[in-house]
Amino acid sequence: MDESIAGAAASQVTEENLEMAIFAGGCFWCTESDFDKLPGVVSTTSGYIGGTVANPTYDQVVAGKTGHVEAVQIYFDKTKTNFSNLLAAYWLTIDPLTTNQQFCDIGSQYRSVIFYHDFDQKELAEASKKTLEASGRFNQPIVTEILPVTEFYRAEEYHQDYYIKNPLRYAYYRNNCGRDKRLEDLWRIKH
């Protein structure tokens, strides 16, 4: 079990009931906050994945020079939820129509990506994307990528649980970035 899984919730979950998912949906503060609210999610960790530099820093990733994306590593309890449920929730937290951008964050480091760990996750992600494409909800193509997992690097400590540690700054950022407004426009649900 990963060292970052701690606390009472994690102690009640056996290792064989844990599964990992990694999603990139723009700012990892927001993605982490969104997934922490879901039943069955045991822990979330903000970090970087998909790039070419070992142990990248936030400043390197934000500059867009490493190839990484801001992402969130999620451990979930398979007895309480599953990868399909996380996929369904994920779509409602991103803008799947915009390339190399999520809301006010611009650059390939903020693109939307579903990372898969195995064949089952890949199949589920592809099916989920095809279902969304076939739904007729959008007239534009879905640009969210589906990629194999590579090395995940934990972000600096001040990024972990940012929305909890800095609630006013987080709320200001999320509001000014236009995330919830765009999500309401896209999905017709209030965030």
Q: Say if 9 falls within a structural domain.
A: no
Which member of 27, 30, 104, 177 is catalytic? 27
Active-site residue, 104 included: no
Q: List, for the chain, all residue ranges whose pLDDT scores fall below the cut of 70.
A: 1-11, 191
Tokens of 77: 């309890």
Q: Say if 114 falls within a structural domain.
A: yes
Q: Say if 85 falls within a structural domain.
A: yes
Phi, psi of 189 (to 5 degrees): -130, 150
Q: Say if 172 falls within a structural domain.
A: yes
Q: Say if 10 falls within a structural domain.
A: no
**pLDDT digits over 128-137, tens only?**
999 999 999 9
| CATH code at position 104 | 3.30.1060.10
- What element of type H or E holds 8? helix 8-11
In terms of residue numbers, what domain contains 145?
15-187
pTM: 0.92
Q: Say if 69 falls within a structural domain.
A: yes
Structural domain count, the chain: 1
Q: Say if 3 falls within a structural domain.
A: no
Tokens of 97: 């129509």
